Structure 1
């Protein structure tokens, strides 16, 4: 599970735009923008959230904490 804060933070720590994430994850840019306008856990298909999470993890992002209580991200440099 991912929170909106974690998605935004992961993009920021990698220096990716929404278009970058859309291209790398296969999730539409409009869908990503809709998720990022919300708060908490995006109302999304589990498969879509997994695609986003996997893309970030492949880039070195680790998701920390509980997405609703204390969401966080950490970048592991390669």
Structure 2
């Protein structure tokens, strides 16, 4: 289960407007606004739909621990491949042949 502020943070990280999140999730935009502002809590099915949609867009929800709950972006497959390419650009590593 996610909270309204986590939903708002995930939406910001994934660069989704409320309008776009509403269209993708099928949840009314006004319901999302009330949830994010902590005015009203939608039922668990609506929250699950919002969470699922945000996860599909790249958000990763971090479970609550002693430091609190959170949200971050996950790397896509193409980003992971680009990182691996950049990390191996130096070529083969060999021993120093200088006496």
Q: TM-score range by the shorter chain?
A: 0.7 to 0.9
How far, CA to CA, are the matches of 1:29 and 1:4 in structure 2? 13
Deviations 1:12-62 (A, max 9, x none): 0011111011011000001011111117xx622111001001001111211
> Segments of 4+ in structure 1 off by > 3 A?
none
Residue of structure 2 equivalent to 1:58: 56
Query: When the two structures are superposed, what TM-score results if normalisation uses the length of structure 2?
Result: 0.68
Greater RCO (Cα-Cα under 8 Å, separation 6 or more): 1
User: Is there any run of 5+ residues in structure 2 with no aligned partner, and where?
Assistant: 77-99
CA RMSD of aligned residues (A): 1.9
Aligned residues: 75
CA contact (8 A) 2:4 2:35 kept: yes
